[in-house]
A = this chain, B = another copy of it.
Amino acid sequence: MIVSALLTSVGINTGLCVLLLSFYSVLRKQPDNVYVYAPRRVAEEQAKREGPFSLERLVPSPGWIVRAWRLSEDEFLSAAGFDAFVFLRIFIFSIRIFSIAGIIGVFVLLPLNYTGNQLRTVDWADIPNQSLDLFTIANVQDGSKRLWVHFCAVYLISGAACCLLYLEYKGIAEKRFSYFNSSPPQPNHFTILVRGIPKSDQHSMSETVEEFFTLYHPSTYFSHQMVYHSNRVQSLMHEAEKLYKRILHLKTKPRLQRKSHREGFLGLFGAKVDPVDLYTKKLEDVEENVKLEQSTFYQNEKELPAAFVSFRSRYGAAMASQLVQSSNPLLWVTEPAPEPSDIYWPFLSAPYIQLWISKFVVVVAVFFLTILFLVPVTFVQGLTQLTELESFLPFLKKVLKLTIVSDIITGYLPSLILQMFQYFVPPIMLLFSAMRGHISNSGKMKSACIMVLSFTIWNVFFATVLSGSVISQINTFLSDPKDIPRQLAVVVPGQATFFITYVLTSGWTGLSLEIARIFPLIGNFFIRHFSNITEDADCAPSFPYHRDIPKVLLFGLLGFTYSLLAPLIMPFLLVYFFVGYIFYRNQMLKVYSPRFESAGQFWPIVHNCTIFSLVFMQIIAIGIFGVKKVPFASGWVIPMTVITLLFNDYCRKRFLPIFNRYPAEILIKRDGEDERNPQMMASFLDSLVNAYRDPALQPVQYSLDESGNRTSLLSFS
């Protein structure tokens, strides 16, 4: 790839971004789109749907950027939640470390590389037609003393990264504690999930639970809620809710505008009736069914061997959840309960064998997904080497000779295709993750995040780097593990140009697509005009951490890897992180609504991945110094790798335990503070009794008003 192709790519992407942003700036002001661009505001009733028309609504304005930027960190934290805060810390960390790496790269390494003469001497007059390889380390003369500057850069960047990582980890840990201390009492801190409750002939399971905990935890045990076989009731209730919403929506429209339905088969035959009446009747039927189910529910004793057990203090709950309770560890299995809204009910009481099989199936499925994904990657890889495509599709030869076409194909298309395929992976992984038996949505998302991350690093980064013949390369690797650094040093720099364009397309354009929300926009348009479902007031989506964290971390990996090899990538990356920081801030505040709070549990994933990137950079450095015939420098990188791993081990001991569990000190302090406020605690404990009540046990009463009359719904119209 030559400089002009890169510039084409930059041009296209910048144009696209500007276009998308202008669209966004205009569209976001249209009241009709408020459900797309500010659903969170709607949910919090801060945004009005209707407003007077004004010309200003048609002029793009950057006010939203300023507003997203201006908010202080603490304000953002309280508005968007802790997980969103942690997500944005990835950007801040990246901006910091890549500013350092960028300055070193652009002002020190880049001139050194460009003035080298390993590839050819520089022709200053014809920069646009020069290969981008001239800007990489490949252009430094073999054995040159200049490489010691690169060596110093490895140490500087690694050292700076470790320091910044430590500060981030520490800062987030402290914030996590202060968040814990400042938030009101939360049911999940007082509650544990107990599984494997033994069956007894004399008692119901509920009585067994009561007996066990009053016997062994007499001073702290408070109450418990059994889990029931309730899938059927829950689906019925869900149906009732949907019907209810539909009716409400219809009632907002005047009677004549409602499309009337026929009563008979598929709505094609029978007398025309008002849809409100039709749905109201349906709703009543469903509610009747729910009541019927609920009654059998109590009669049949559909208790599952699982319960949520609440304690009077956080420390009591922590004790019960962290100590093995029973002399048979498969009984009375305890673990901290998720937030009530975070519970993922399907696996709450799955038996051991089912979980084992699910896990096995997931492993196999992920394996096959990974293999399957190699197909598009290999194809994309072919595109960057145009000649291959020419021999594959000879009739394209003429078209490909056009500069602009070849520029677009090599500079833009490959990473676009890759990005499209990547679009499907996170939902699939979330599905796999759901099958693995998590009890909470956040746990599910966390595990999906790890899977998507490894998938991304392996399939997007490595499979691309190892070019088409992945399998044969792996065989070479296995046969001589010592040779891996050298081989990586040969193949990784070759893909520098591909990844620069990847930053432009997947990074820049990806961000603009994220903020313009094209798909939800189209969906919203259709819903508004062609459907009779109301826009849901609670429709603010939760943020897909499992999709976006791996995406951002991949750019981090690219940054570390190429900071040394091809520093030209750094400015583009920095732009990405800056813009991303502002854009995601905006989205977190306006679009996404936190459904649950893992209180920073995503950070250890980020930390580990960054350590991986650092070590990977060092391994490549070892290889490249070997290839460049400075074996001495190559050997001296190893101590830095050891230090990095030692640092990681230290962090794992220093921070990881407090991300998994709150320490006793913190819990006891907080419990003590609460004790000084008995009134608040009393009212909290009152609410705790029913916090983990199975949703299937709640009464459904959409069609009846409080006095039991059927008229309540109709009185709306």
Max chain B CB contacts within 10 Å: which of A318, A327, A655, A666? A327
Q: A633 contacts the other chain (Cβ, under 8 Å)?
A: no
Nearest chain-B residue to A353 (Cβ)? B646
Contact present for B658 and A327 (CB under 8 Å): yes
Q: Is the CB–CB distance between A650 and B216 below 8 Å? A: no
Using a CB-CB cutoff of 8 Å, which residues 320-336 of chain A contact chain B?
320, 322-330, 332
Give the CA-CA distance A655 to B331 in the complex, in Å. 12
Q: Is the C-beta of A62 less than 8 angstroms from some C-beta in chain B?
A: no
Distance (whole angstroms) from the CB of A656 to the closest CB of chain B? 8
Q: Are A323 and B654 in contact (CB under 8 A)?
A: no
List the B residue with the shortest CB-CB distance to A334.
Answer: B664
Q: A177-B327, A663-B324 are in contact. Are A356 and B658 (CB under 8 A)?
A: no
**Could you say which of A318, A657, A666 has the most chain B C-beta atoms within 10 Å of its C-beta?**
A657
**Docked complex Cα distance between A654 and B196 (Å):** 12
The answer on a CB contact under 8 Å between A329 and B658 is yes
Contact of A356 with B649 in the complex, beta carbons under 8 Å: yes
Q: A216 near B668 (CB under 8 angstroms)?
A: yes
> Is A200 an interface position by the 8 A CB rule?
no
Q: Are B327 and A665 in contact (CB under 8 A)?
A: yes
A482 within 8 A of B: no
Cross-chain contact of A322 among B322, B329, B656, B658 (Cβ < 8 A): B322
CB distance B322 to A663 under 8 Å? Answer: no
Q: Return chain B residues, CB-CB under 8 Å to A325.
A: 663-665
Q: Which of A324-356 contact B (CB under 8 A)?
A: 324-330, 332, 352, 356
A318 partner residues in chain B, CB cutoff 8 A: 323
Q: Does A490 contact B (CB under 8 A)?
A: no
Give CA–CA (A340, B649) in the complex, Å: 31
Shortest Cβ distance from residue A90 to the other chain B in the assembled complex, whole angstroms: 23
Return A126 CB to nearest CB of chain B, in Å. Answer: 48
Contact among B319, B327, B656 for A663, CB-based, below 8 A: B327
Within 8 Å CB of A332, what residues of B? 665
Chain B CB within 8 A of A478 CB: yes
Residue of B nearest to A475 (CB): B479
CB contact list, A639-675 vs B, under 8 A: 646, 649-650, 653-658, 661, 663-666, 668
Q: Which residue of B lies closest to A325 (CB)?
A: B664
Output the nearest chain B residue to A218 by Cβ-Cβ distance: B668
Known: A478-B479, A479-B478. A323 touches B650 (CB 8 A): no
CB of A335 to closest CB in B, whole Å: 13
A216/B665 in contact, CB under 8 A: yes
Closest to A650 in B: B352
**CB-CB contacts of A477-504 with B at 8 A, as 1s and 0s?**
0110000000000000000000000000
Question: Looking across the interface, which residue of chain B has its beta carbon closest to that of A646?
Answer: B356
- In the complex, what distance in Å separates the CA atom of A324 from the CA atom of B654? 11
Selected from B216, B323, B329, B653, the residue in CB contact (under 8 A) with A329 is: B653
CA of A650 to CA of B661 in the docked complex: distance in angstroms? 26
A324-B664 in contact given A654-B330, A657-B329 (Cβ < 8 Å):
yes
Q: Which residue of B lies closest to A656 (CB)?
A: B329
Which residue on chain B has the smallest CB distance to residue A321? Answer: B323
Within residues 485 to 540 of chain A, which ones have a CB less than 8 A from any CB in chain B? Answer: none
B324, A657: Cβ atoms under 8 Å? Answer: yes
CB distance from A209 to the nearest CB of B (A): 14
- Which of B329, B352, B653, B663 is close to A326, meaning CB atoms less than 8 Å apart? B663
| CB-nearest residue of chain B to A174 | B327
CA A314 to CA B668, docked complex, whole Å: 20
- Residues 198-224 of chain A, each 1 if its beta carbon lies under 8 Å from chain B, else 0: 000000000000000000100000000
**Residue from B173, B330, B479, B655 within 8 A of A479 (CB atoms):** B479
Could you tell me the distance between the alpha carbons of A657 and B196 in the complex, rounded to whole angstroms? 15
A667 (CB) vs chain B CBs: closest residue:
B323
CA of A177 to CA of B319 in the docked complex: distance in angstroms? 21
Q: A216 contacts which chain B residues (CB < 8 A)?
A: 664-665, 668
Is there an interface contact between B319 and A323, defined as CB atoms closer than 8 Å? yes
Residues of B within 8 A of A663 (CB): 323-327, 329
| Cα distance, A668 to B221, chains bound together (Å) | 15
Interface contact B478-A665, CB-CB below 8 Å: no
On whether A661 and B356 interact (CB within 8 A), knowing A478-B479, A479-B479, A653-B329, the answer reads no
Contact with B along A238-272 (1 / 0, CB 8 A): 00000000000000000000000000000000000
Report Cα–Cα, A328/B170, bound state, in Å.
Answer: 10
B352 near A661: Cβ-Cβ < 8 Å: no
Q: With the chains together, A324 CA to B315 CA distance in Å? A: 11
Task: Return the 8 tightest CB-CB contacts between A and B, nearest first.
Answer: A324-B663, A329-B657, A323-B664, A324-B657, A325-B664, A327-B663, A216-B668, A330-B654
20 residue pairs of the A-B complex, CB under 8 angstroms, read A173-B327, A177-B327, A216-B664, A216-B665, A318-B323, A319-B323, A320-B664, A323-B663, A323-B664, A324-B657, A324-B658, A324-B664, A325-B665, A326-B665, A327-B663, A328-B654, A329-B658, A329-B663, A478-B478, A479-B479
Further 20 A-B residue pairs, CB within 8 A, beyond A173-B327, A320-B664, A475-B479: A177-B327, A319-B319, A319-B323, A322-B322, A324-B658, A324-B661, A324-B663, A325-B663, A325-B664, A326-B665, A327-B658, A327-B663, A327-B665, A329-B653, A329-B654, A329-B655, A352-B650, A356-B649, A478-B479, A479-B479
